[in-house]
Amino acid sequence: MKKVFLVAGLLLAIGSSLTSCKKDYVCKCSKTYTGNTSTTTSDYSQYTYKDSRKRAEDRCNDNTTSGSDLYGDYSINCQIQ
């Protein structure tokens, strides 16, 4: 009987360690324009990921980019809050 409880406890411990904790993580992005005379930063977008912390951070960082448009050069920086 002790072996049954030991094996069941071991399987439960292994099973719970293999699952990751999925929570809601908020990814906030800001857009920074760099001009000749000034730099302007504003809120750009916000995403919510229901995932593990590591996966949510990776997905959030995928939104980071830079480029240019009619208003000038910009960079978009995103971080988990």
Q: What is the pLDDT of residues 28-76, one digit of tens each?
A: 999 999 987 889 999 999 999 999 999 999 999 999 999 998 888 999 9
Taking the complete model, does pTM exceed 0.75, yes or no? no
Q: Is the pLDDT of residue 3 over 90?
A: no
Average pLDDT over residues 6-24: 64
Average pLDDT over residues 8-24: 65
- As separate numbers, helices (DSSP H) first and strands (DSSP E) second, the chain gives 2, 4
Q: How far is CA 52 from the centre of its chain?
A: 9
CA-to-CA distance for 6 and 65, rounded, in angstroms? 51
Q: Is the pLDDT of residue 22 over 80?
A: yes
